A and B are shown apart, each in its own frame.
Chain A
């Protein structure tokens, strides 16, 4: 049975619901400056290369340079914006990037299991009377 994750929408436009999308899961915080190439729309660091455009991107939180907000904005500018970003903790630089880049930002209501999410492949965000939940796709 697919596990559901309850989410809270914190910034950017509301997430598109009912739309299954690729799921990118990384258990390490992301430094948008230096680890994301907005022109190519990829997260790139040693041992990890993942495409972000049109996907639901799950990670614990942002870290590193405050220029990261411009990198998030640039993802939208180059039409490589994720469908939504879902984090454990929303830091100011991440929120600002999502507000000016128009990217839905959501926060997990309880600690996620990255291993389990990593096996999902695809996921869908559903609205349930003002609250959101994310459900593993069929893969």
Chain B
């Protein structure tokens, strides 16, 4: 691999041991993927910040870098953690976990990370088309490539951390246009409404299962709304390894990418398959937790939920409702009075974390209803929590006192 003078200096240890170690890892990963050089990045986003998912090995890995004086060299943000740091009482988490989680966060902050604790870094700093990023968090990566037209691989959490410390990533995969061309065309049955977050998430789940890690071309009748695109890309990145989709009318430069790709293999997503994942009202009887905010809820989602609950007289008896969002969006929603409205109606608004990466979820619920295809994939796997995807339209029916 060809390295610049500055990169050679980094590797030699002139800029400190952590930088040398970080660059060494990036070079090794890049060589495995056939990269010929490194490229500068403008934003690193690290996944693996919850003590629940990285455990003691992850804590020691991160802490040892901070102890050696590692510092970020670019704008760097942090994924959700396992607790609400701003409001400790909102989730029931034991003290031992708290202490460990605080050590993880403190290590990242010492290195100069933003106190973001969110899986939606694009809402903090909007990626520009063609810009190079080194992001972990599969849902954010897929949105950066698909919606913003920026370039990022699905970097493992540690690699994104190494990029934060060096300001570099390797030039391979999604950083090269030839790998951004669609390789299969996904055709959707007429009855599938990509405008509904729940349905879009179910489609993402199926596309991830069917296509693994290809770049799919998605043709829809009119561009889906932003939050539905987020639901789709998040689910496809969980059930599969999809780093990018080309969505007609949405992805920057989609016409050029489709033209360059030439004829494509066709893959159908049938309405029946979506229906199997997204059941009707009959299975909602034993749902005792409804959940919105995977990826972290946007301001529009919070506003919409507050309006729905206002119209329908609040939550029905016996149902808990958790919403998770970033402290950034929370701050804006609080100013607008939306947080107060949600809390008055019995909704628990959580910052910095979510039910997937927090220990507060496990063993507490009979069945969780989520609009998120990504949560549907992880809740049973990480929290042993039976869960069901509901269409956004049905979620409203499910949660209201007056139906």
Q: Is chain B's binding surface mostly helix, strand, loop or mixed?
A: helix
B53 touching A64, Cβ below 8 Å: no
* Chain A neighbourhood of B268, CB < 8 A: none
Q: How far is the CA of A38 from the CA of B54 in the complex (A)?
A: 10
- The size of the chain B interface, using a CB distance under 8 A, is 40
Query: Are A92 and B33 within 8 A (Cβ)?
Result: yes
Chain B positions within 8 Å of A66 at CB level: 47-48, 136-138, 141, 154-157, 160
Contacts of B212 in A (CB 8 A): 29, 60-61, 63, 89
**Measured between C-beta atoms, what is the minimum distance from B276 to chain A in Å?**
16
Q: Are B32 and A90 within 8 A (Cβ)?
A: yes
- Contact call B213/A63, Cβ cutoff below 8 A: yes
Within 8 A of B (CB), among A70-124: 70-71, 73-74, 77-78, 89-97, 99-100, 105
Does B153 contact A92, Cβ atoms closer than 8 Å? yes
Task: Decide if B25 touches A100 in the complex (CB within 8 Å).
Answer: yes
**Chain A interface residue count: which class?**
35 or more
B-contact 0/1 string along A16-50, CB 8 Å cutoff: 00000000000001010111001100000100000
Report chain B residues within 8 Å CB of A65: 47, 53, 138, 238, 378
Inter-chain contact B58/A74, CB cutoff 8 Å: yes
Distance of B202 from chain A, by nearest CB (Å): 17
Q: Please tell me which one of the listed residues B154, B157, B382 contacts residue A34 in the complex, with CB atoms under 8 A apart.
A: B382
> For the complex, is A57 an interface residue (Cβ under 8 Å from B)?
no
- CB contacts (< 8 Å) of A39 on chain B: these are 55
Are the CB atoms of B377 and A73 closer together than 8 Å? no
Does B57 lie within 8 Å of A70, measured CB to CB?
yes
Residues in B neighbouring A71, C-beta threshold 8 A: 53
Q: Are A92 and B29 in contact (CB under 8 A)?
A: yes
Contact of A38 among B28, B57, B156, B377 (CB under 8 A): B57
Asked whether, in the complex, the Cβ of B381 is within 8 Å of the Cβ of A38, the reply is no
> Does B241 count as interface, using CB distance less than 8 angstroms?
yes
In the assembled complex, B146 has its CB within 8 A of some CB on chain A? no
Residue A68 interfacial (CB < 8 Å): yes
